[in-house]
Amino acid sequence: MSTFTDLIESRRSAMNFVEGVKIPQNELEEMFSYARLAPSAHNLQHTNYKVVSDENLKEEIRKAAYGQYKIHSASAVIVVLGDKHAYLKAPEIYGGLKALGAMSQEDYDAEIETINNAYAENDAFQREEFAICMELWLFPACLFF
């Protein structure tokens, strides 16, 4: 528990970054390999990440983000994208469990039905699901590096 507590207690918000510092691509990839392990509703993995380190693209993002200087000074900007149609991958995701015998046909059918009832033709829910994920976990931790 001490590692978790240390992490929480040491977390800080950064308004600006030291310019010229670049995080190597392999370190960014390692960070995202861990971020991908974060749980998601029904294991649908609603998020995709785009790393923007090109200075011109960062300036375009800065304009869209009300001129926030931290976007300019960050080594990279992480654009977090939500997939509102991730629920369509549920049969593939749960099909593996069914094929391995870890999930019965009855449980598989019930899970797919639950997912479809929650997401299909429910645009507001799809957006809210992603927004909650961003607020609680990814957005504060991953937007700027």
Q: Which two three-digit tokens encode residue 85?
A: 């149609």
- The C-alpha atoms of residue 9 and residue 48 are separated, in whole angstroms, by 28
Tokens 């995709």 correspond to: 48
Which residue(s) pair with 144 in the sheet?
Answer: 77
Give 7-65 pLDDT, tens digit per residue.
Answer: 778 877 777 888 888 889 888 888 888 887 888 888 888 888 888 999 999 999 999 98
CB atoms within 10 A of CB 68: 17
Ranges of each domain in the chain? 2-142
pTM metric for this prediction: 0.68
CATH class of 2-142: alpha beta
Please spell the DSSP secondary structure of 95-134, one letter per residue. HHHHHTTSS-HHHHHHHHHHHHHHHTT-HHHHHHHHHHHI
Which of 41, 21, 23, 137 lies closest to 89 in space, CA to CA?
41
